[in-house]
Structure 1
């Protein structure tokens, strides 16, 4: 009898998985943007994951030999629309914060006035704006469903996205690693925020993690096995002090307040106070 029940459940589970995969793949199509901020785009190979598009190149011996890294402030080259300067500042600072946290896994991160084996700089090349009205509707529907304990996906229109690029340059000015990256929000894993940069902000940590993992491992981050220092990551996500003083310049992670803000669909500025010092 039990085996018959399990056999009957299998088609249903398969159907549910198929629906979830379809919803997960229903994301904004954000093309890779070659922004022109990198010293070279030669020798890049296509990579990426199920949700992310990327092209990259890494000089593994040179990157793995490096011990210190300095992070130059992320810039916006093409906002792709009209965005508030304060929102762009929060977005670029969130990228810097994610880079600093990720690179701390192996490198010593130094301040802006100190020498380093590698200098990292990133550039936002495109922002696909989040439709705030649709995000608000999705948030209301999600909160209503959560009361009834029925999870529902976001409305599949008005989703935003982010395109960015970054490189790591050695002391002699030679590019040692580079990446072009893009990703769109999806209906399941990207919480709706009532902000034009809401989705781009949410995706900023993914970009920072992918690029920093490439430098930490010295290889394609989408193929490398991750060995994340879990406790350090958890503490940082809750707003505790970062491993290196240089990372304090980017301010603390929003922590629990940020998680609550994400659930309620509030703009990034509600929980993220941005950089701790002027850069």
Structure 2
């Protein structure tokens, strides 16, 4: 019995670490949303924290949307260079546009009779580049999709967004956060904001799900693509780079800095 317990101990330890590592705590309200009333915590999401609300009747009446450029909340990116912050904001804009365009008609400019999507990045925790590089090397020799990241090298992205109609009424709102896992499938990166950039896609996915009516089907991309200014939607070079190096490389993913408005 003792020998069996000793043999099982490493497995149990890794399992416990993986469970603890995949939990993301909710981020504190940043004060960006017009109101936080009615936000409900989405259950069954350990890896990501989701709090959202939607007025289904009101969102059903929304068809045309203008996406405002995302902003950075005060103190959300302490110690992170402005050039890296611009990359995160640009990627958030891109991913939000992609998902909104599959559910609404995205306008190139504001219109008095159109809704607005407002977004703020409320926290960026940097990725530890040295530790991530070591992880990429170590994970190369670990079979299977599960990788290990040194504690203290994992990054985070937190953001808030709302859908506002004419007159300033909040139709839908989202407070979202995602931390990289010490044990899991998050791809390490040498970029200081590698984790935050990767999580922008997950945030965009949730914006689309939280803002669109439940019965609104995903639609074909309009021609011309309203999100074309952010770059092509498909980035096969990024997949190849990950497969070869084990790293997330922003330059191969089509990431672009947010352009000053």
**Cα pair distance change 1:252/1:208, threshold 3 Å:** same
Match of 2:196 among 197, 200, 208: 200
- Return the alpha-carbon distance in structure 2 between the equivalents of residues 24 and 93 of structure 1: 32
Structure 2 unmatched runs, 5+:
1-9
**Cα pair distance change 1:21/1:111, threshold 3 Å:** farther
- Return the alpha-carbon distance in structure 2 between the equivalents of residues 59 and 70 of structure 1: 19
* 1:42 shift after superposition: 1.7
Considering fraction of residues, name the structure with more helix: 1
Cα root mean square deviation, aligned: 3.1
Tell me which residue corresponds to 1:215.
Answer: 211
Higher mean C-alpha displacement, 254-263 vs 130-139: 254-263
* 1:87 shift after superposition: 1.7
* 1:139 shift after superposition: 1.1
Matched-pair contact (CA < 8 Å) for 2:23–2:46: no
Q: Normalized against structure 2, the TM-score is what? A: 0.81
Tell me which residue corresponds to 2:7.
Answer: none
Q: How does 1:253-264 map to 2 (within 5 A)?
A: 253=233, 255-263=235-243, 264=245
**Cα pair distance change 1:179/1:151, threshold 3 Å:** closer
* 1:140 shift after superposition: 1.5
Higher mean C-alpha displacement, 173-182 vs 256-265: 256-265
* 1:101 shift after superposition: 1.3
The number of residues matched between the two structures is: 246
Structure 1 unmatched runs, 5+:
1-14, 220-225, 233-240
Moved over 6 A (4+): 15-18
Q: Normalized against structure 1, the TM-score is what? A: 0.76
Tell me which residue corresponds to 1:109.
Answer: 106
